[in-house]
Amino acid sequence: MLVVVAPGQGAQTPGFLTPWLELPGLADRLAAWSEVAELDLIAFGTTADADAIRDTAVAQPLLVAAALASAEALGVAPDLLAGHSVGEFATAALAGVITPEQALTLVRERGRAMAEAASVTETGMTAVLGGDEGDVLAVIDKHGLTPANINGSGQIVAGGTLEQLAAFADDGPPGARLRPLAVAGAFHTAHMAPAVERLREAAAQVTPADPGVRLLSNADGQVVTGGAEVMRRLVDQVSNPVRWDSCMATMAELGVTRMIELLPGGTLTGLARRGLRGVKTVAVKTPDDLDAARELIK
C-alpha cells in the first residue's frame, strides 16, 4: 500500500523551488496559483530569505503550492493520503475534496488569520526529542503549554507563550532534548482560536466533494469519508493538536508499505523511518528525486 504525505510549516528552506522551475509547465502553474494566493510564490520559493518564508502568511500557501506542484509532476495515484498541519489542505485537494485553487484560497486566509492571531501575544514552539512520553506530557502541562504536535517517534512539539517556553527550557523533561522552532507562533493551540472563525467563514464558501482516495485526519488519525467532515476538521485543526502519531498508527494498521513525501520532503519520512519501520520511503526534495519516487510507485 502506498501513502503520499504532505509536510507542514517549517519544512520550507530558501530557494527550494529553484530547480523545479526547469520542469515544463511548472512555472506557469505556480504563476497562476500566485494570483490565487495573492503572493509571488516563485519569488518566495527561489530568492526570498529564511525570514521572509518564515512568515506564516507566506509559508502556508508556499508549502501547499509546492506539494501540489510536485504531486502533479510525479503523477501518482496513491492508496492513502495524509498531510501534516497545513499539508492537509494539499492532500484534501489531491483527494478531490477541493480544487487546488480552493485549497490555496483557504490557505491564504488561514495563513493570514493565524499570523494575526500570533501577533496578539508573543508565542512560539519547542520540539521535545526523546524522553518518556508520559514525563514529557506532564512537564508540558506543568508549564501551561500545549502538546501542539504529537508526532510519534519520540517527538512532541510544545506551544505557548515565550515566557512559558523559557521556563520549560530551564526545567525540561528528564532525558529529553529541547529545540526551539523557527515558527511565528504557537500553532495548533488555543492561541490560534481567533483564526478559526475566519477560516470557517472562508470554508463556508466552498462546496466540498467526498474524498476519492482514503484520507487521514490530523485530529485522530482516522480515515474521513465525507467532504463536509473533512472541511470541518480542517477548520477545527487550526487550534487543536496535530496527532501525527495517530496517523502513523493508522498507516500501520492499514498495511502501508511505501511512503512518498511531497515537496519539500524530509520531515515526515524521517518520522516514518523511526515510527514505521520496514516502510520504504522517498522524500521529494528536487526533481532528481522523482525517478526514485516513480520506482517506488512500481
Identity of residue 280: K
Give the three-state DSSP class for 157.
Answer: strand
Q: At what angle do helices 56-74 and 290-297 cross, to 10 degrees?
A: 60
Identity of residue 46: T
Average pLDDT, the chain: 96
Residue 279, pLDDT above cutoff 90: yes
Banded model confidence at residue 298, pLDDT cuts 50, 70, 90: confident
Please name the CATH architecture into which domain 2-119+189-292 falls.
3-Layer(aba) Sandwich (3.40)
Positions annotated as catalytic residues are 85, 188
At the topology level, CATH places domain 120-180 in Alpha-Beta Plaits (3.30.70)
Residue 286, pLDDT above cutoff 90: yes
Q: Which residues pair with 146 in a beta bridge?
A: 159
Number of CB atoms found within 10 A of residue 279's CB: 18
Domain ranges of the chain: 2-119+189-292, 120-180
Tell me the pTM.
0.95
Radius of gyration over alpha carbons of the chain, in Å? Answer: 18
Given this model, what pLDDT does residue 184 score? 81
pLDDT in tens, 251-263: 999 999 999 999 9
Given this model, what pLDDT does residue 43 score? 98
Banded model confidence at residue 1, pLDDT cuts 50, 70, 90: very high
pLDDT in tens, 199-248: 999 999 999 999 999 999 999 999 999 999 999 999 999 999 999 999 99
Strand 176-180 to strand 214-215: parallel, antiparallel, or no bridges (unpaired)? unpaired
